[in-house]
Structure 1
Amino acid sequence: MVYDLLPEIKISTKEAVYSGLKEIVPLLRQRLMAETLNVITIESYPLVEPEVLRNALLDQLGLDLIVESDAFFFDSQKVTEMIADNLTDDRVFGRMSHHSLVDFVDPVKQSAVHDQIAVAIKAGQRVGIVGVGASLIYPTDLLIYADLPRWEIQTRYRSGNYSNWQADNAGEDPLRMIKRGYFFEWRVADKQKRALYPQVDYFLDTLQTDWVMVGATTYDLALQEVARQPFSLVPFFDPGVWGGHWMQQQFNFRQDEVNLAWSFNGVPEENSLILNFGSAKMEIPGNNLVYFQGEAVLGPRVYGRFGANFPIRFNFLDTVGGSNLSLQVHPTTEYAQEVFGATYTQDESYYILHAEADAKVYLGVKQGVTKPALMAALEQAALEGGFPDEDFIYQQPVKKHDHFSIPGGTIHSSGANSVVLEISATPNRYTFKLWDWGRVDLDGLPRPVHLNHGEPNIDIRRDEEWVKRELVNPFAVVASGDGWLEERTGLHETEFIETRRHTFSVPVNHENHGSVNVLNLVEGQEALVESLDGSFAPFILHYAQTVIIPESVRSYRISPSGVSLGQQLKTMKAYVR
């Protein structure tokens, strides 16, 4: 079955696109010769290697002085001391940083480097500055921004060959490295990127073997173009200790790996976008689209509520031939705000894309279970192993196309032998494991359990009776016609995401409800997403593929297409209520 592993977005604007160093270096040399450019700055996102930028690019320009930005920041020990409150002692959870990069500039070092550059310029020399925060040291005449998506950053953390920014911690526990990235590093880097955006002359993609550089005007026009049409992000797959094999077989992908547990296929913060300019393809962080075209993508109402944060997440959980996820709970909104500085919590739902005969979900507690008894059993299990889940946790059999709401505070887990389309809010990090079946992770380290965070967030009132009434298959018919049916289903009334399932064998018109729409084809091989006014090109959607439809697309049509003509299809759509 077809699944687009590298979806591309065709961009009509093609000026100022440079493919490979064979085009980038001559362009910059020409500008150096033709213009009075005393300082060229390459500002980079963390984990873009400054020595690679220097060797491959700046060293080829005949500059007289090259400065790496690490030379004017506090050293790793000082930076780590300054953010100790953000990092905490926990392996997974920290507190959101509100720092800016300039807070970590050492004034003594800055003064020395600034004077060194000033002397060089006065002597008629040309200077290059490179690295994270490079633009902070001296006014520049040409600014290049070298970017990197977060899926690649996390891969580099795990390799053991890279450190966090100003950390000198290569080979550290990857969970701690990702925590430092999420709560500190990415926050200050994104703040810097957004502030610099109007000043950038070129954007540089070093992720590919042949680097691609695009002029700022073309880059901005490309983002505007993406924000006016349906698009798919590049899915990111990851193995896990509980992972299964359905995605490997279904998508004919990475079958030599131990398993594939996750697929993040609708998360701009994690995923990337491929912009196809014709002569070159550029891979950029998906969150750049939200940062710089947020209102067009999200819509004024959602943007006004969430700012430049994409609030809906689609991802897969594959346990076919694997095992149970951890028994877990997400925080209440109040707890997420007070303890972590997050603005909302990870309310979610499980839509069952595939289920074997023995598949089930763990959802809420059994009738009569008290929190003291539950916590005593979990604490004993943490010390000695062997949690009697059948005595405490309600277990619900599942079948394909079932849907379960999971508001924050509800104990839950996906059992073995199913594939879940998880539809959730997007704070990303706040999953408190209560019991993990005594496992160690794929890296050989124990899986962290957080009973200290879990206990105050467990809503013990969510027992079997309440779960069956409130959370299991909450389908309600909204509208129907000849060949189509629209149903409201999940998420719970306490959650801000609305989900709609459309079953259809004929073309169906959709309204966006004043919100960005995220949609997945959960039944059928192929559907066609079309504009009602010809404002975007038809978009082919394959089985299990996620598409984001910006709010600027007010209405659209979805039809069975290709091999699915005449067949019954199903889509799941999510938007902000």
Structure 2
Amino acid sequence: MYPLKFKPVFQNRIWGGQRLRAVLGKAVPKELGATVGESWELADLPAGTVKADSVGANADGSLASVITNGPLAGKTVSEALKLHGRDIMGNAPLNHGHFPLLIKFLDAQQDLSVQVHPNAAYCEKHADAHLKSEAWYIMHAEPGAKIYKGVKPGVTKDQFAAALKTGEVEPLLNAIKVRAGDCHYLASGTVHALGAGILAAEVQTPSDTTFRVFDWNRLGPDGKARKLHIDEALACIDFSGASSSQGGERSHVAGMFTTVSRLVTNEYFTLERVRMVQDFEQEIPYAEPVVIMVLEGQGVITWDGAGPTAFAKGDTLLLPAGMKGGKIKTITDAAWLEAKLPGGAMVA
């Protein structure tokens, strides 16, 4: 097996901008215009889970990223897993036969809607809902940029519902100023919004289920307010106040040439940031699949004496568990995120 690259799927969003092109160098088609908010880097979503208005969605509501390199080029990740599941996943479990993470880059030129993803209790009662816990790594933030994460301590469901009727929701939300390098974990049930002026890498459990609860009183491109899901959202939002304190962990292992920072650990994935100096090579020691999202710099990956597969800022690669003799070598100073799957994790 070898490092797998995928064709990004770009999504227009009312809040999107130009940073996917300008900062990450993404080949965003010109016809998508100036409000491209998401690049779906690695997706393997089953039937009935993808919104009909999402680019790349199949008629049955599924979506699977297409491999762009090597012998598997042209096949979807779903097809590759059926052919080489053990080689790709090792002992890591699939999510009902699908790859268990959804990987994106987000560009917020405007505030995203205030939203929430269903919690386990809601999913148990609604078969069409799916858990969605996620982590945001802030790659770029304009001065004063912020995210909204959870409600302020003491805010009740009734107070929040009343604020939705008056449009005075922001004072009830926990606003957090962010800067490049920050990481925040958002468990299912955490009401949240990515603020304007932020470019982020997003690692999440594989779901497209989102309940929009407040959209800043703005109108969509058609001059109408976007659909809200107030009843569903109120049934899911965590009003305990615990969600606002969930931040990225900060543990570091520093060597002369490499620094590894553990950012997030949960039952679904771990997320680490790796920094490596220019012109340094090290072995890839993992026996499980690893998703790499390149934050800065460039380099190459070799395996079993083959390759190299080049990587640069804005690239996403899946390193299969069965890739033997893997080595990563930097050409410049480089940094990337590594998303890994804990053994036995399953999502619904």
**Paired residues for 1:299-318 under 5 Å:** 299-303=90-94, 306-318=95-107
The amino acid of 1:498's aligned partner reads T
Select the residue among 527, 536, 539 that pairs with 2:309.
539
1:347 corresponding residue in structure 2: 133
Contact preservation (8 Å) 1:294, 1:307 = no
Does 1:454 find its partner at 2:233?
Answer: yes
Q: Which residue of 2 aligns with 1:575?
A: 340
Cα deviation for residue 341 of structure 1 reads 4.9
After superposition, the C-alpha distances for 1:449-473 in whole angstroms (9 at most, x for unaligned) are: 111111121111235xx634x32x3
- Which residue number corresponds to residue 249 of structure 1? 22
Match of 1:423 among 164, 189, 203: 203
Aligned to 2:250: 475
1:358 corresponds in structure 2 to: 144
| Cα contact 2:90–2:288 (8 A) shared by 1 | yes
Give the distance between the partners of 2:324 and 2:123, measured in 1 at CA. Answer: 33
Unpaired segments ≥5 residues, structure 2: 45-62, 343-348
Give 3-state SS (helix, strand or coil) of 1:467's partner.
helix
Using the TM superposition, name which of 515-524 and 435-444 deviates more: 435-444
Give the aligned partner of residue 487 of structure 1.
261
Query: Residues 263 and 317 of structure 1 are in contact (CA less than 8 Å); yes or no, is this contact kept in structure 2?
Result: yes
Say yes or no: does 1:233 pair with 2:6.
Answer: yes
Q: Which fold has the larger relative contact order, with Cα–Cα distance below 8 Å and residues 6 or more apart in sequence?
A: 2
For residue 299 of structure 1, what is the amino acid of its counterpart? G
Residue 360 to residue 294, structure 1, CA distance change in 2 (3 Å): same
Partners of 1:336 and 1:557 lie apart in 2 by 41
Contact 2:9–2:41 (8 Å) recurs in 1: yes
**C-alpha distance in 1 between matches for 2:264 and 2:20:** 25
TM-score (normalised: structure 2): 0.84
SS in 2 for 1:300: coil
Mapped pair 1:440 → 2:212: no
The structural deviation recorded for 1:328 is 0.8
Q: Which amino acid aligns with 1:273?
A: I
Two-structure CA RMSD over aligned residues (Å): 2.3
Is this contact kept in 1: 2:153–2:241, CA < 8 A? no
Counterpart amino acid of 2:269?
I
CA positional deviation for 1:283? 3.3
Partner of 1:530: 302
1:438 to partner: Cα distance: 2.3
Q: Residue deviations 1:366-423, cap 9 Å, x none?
A: 1221221012212x14xxxx3330x200111111111000111111110000111111
Q: 1:431 to 1:555 in 2, by over 3 A?
A: farther
The structure where strand makes up a greater share of residues is 2
Deviates more, 1:479-488 or 1:332-341: 332-341
Aligned to 1:499, the other structure's residue is in SS state strand
Instruction: Please say if 1:330 is aligned against 2:95.
Output: no
Deviation at 1:229, TM superposition (A): 0.8
Tell me the CA shift for residue 490 of structure 1.
Answer: 1.2
Q: In the alignment, which of 498, 521, 525 is matched to residue 270 of structure 2?
A: 498
**1:368 aligned residue (151, 154, 158):** 154
Shift of 1:254: 3.7
Structure-1 residue corresponding to 2:41: 265
Distance in 1, matches of 2:260 and 2:70, equals 35
Q: 2:15 aligns to what SS in structure 1?
A: coil
**Identical aligned residues as a percent:** 24
Poorly superposed stretches of 4+, deviation over 4 Å: none
Q: Please tell me whether the aligned partners of residues 248 and 254 of structure 1 are also in contact (alpha carbons under 8 angstroms).
A: no
The answer to whether the aligner puts 1:557 opposite 2:346 as a matched pair is: no
Q: Higher Cα Rg: structure 1 or 2?
A: 1
Per-residue Cα deviation, 1:255-300 (whole angstroms, up to 9, x for no partner): 56132111111224432223667xxx97343322123322322223
**Alignment partners' CA distance in 2, 1:282 and 1:404:** 34
Counterparts of 2:43 and 2:299 in 1: how far apart (Å)?
Answer: 22
Q: Look up the equivalent residue of 1:286 and give its one-letter code.
A: V
Q: Secondary structure at the match of 1:352?
A: strand
71, 80, 95: which one aligns with 1:289: 80
Amino acid at match of 1:480: A
